[in-house]
Amino acid sequence: MAARSRKPVNEPDDPHGLIGQVLAMGADFPGPAGDILLSWLLDLKDRTEPSTAAANLIARHGLAGPPFPPGPLGELIRLLHETARHSPERLQDRVLRRRGGRRGRGRT
């Protein structure tokens, strides 16, 4: 019987295989989910849009929407669903809409 490699698959949606590794752990994943999501987002860099990558991972791994499983794994799946819902246009609109400080108040 051949041993399976533990080397992560280098795919654009999960460059270092981090999400795949966590999903393989299942209920044994101890968390924290937010740290994993942040690491995954940093790994994406400019390779692909996070919302698209999250949607692709949800489809590829069959991660159903609410109700999410309990515990840290369910929290990670929920965070992936939230990431998939936020398009870059919506985020850009939010940033451009609000201007703080003196610039936001206009000249008086």
Please tell me the predicted confidence (pLDDT) of residue 49: 92
Alpha carbon separation from 36 to 48, 50, 74, 92, 95 (Å, rounded): 18, 14, 13, 24, 25
Question: What would the pLDDT profile of 15-57 be if each residue is shown by its tens digit?
Answer: 999 999 999 999 999 989 999 999 999 999 888 899 999 999 9
Listed in sequence order, the DSSP H helices in 3-107 are 18-25, 33-44, 50-61, 71-85, 88-97, 101-105
Tell me the two tokens of residue 17. Answer: 């295989």
**Local confidence band at 5 (pLDDT 50, 70, 90 cut-offs):** very low
**Alpha-carbon gap, residue 62 to 72, rounded angstroms:** 17
Rg value, the chain, Cα: 18
Say if residue 99's pLDDT is above 90.
Answer: no
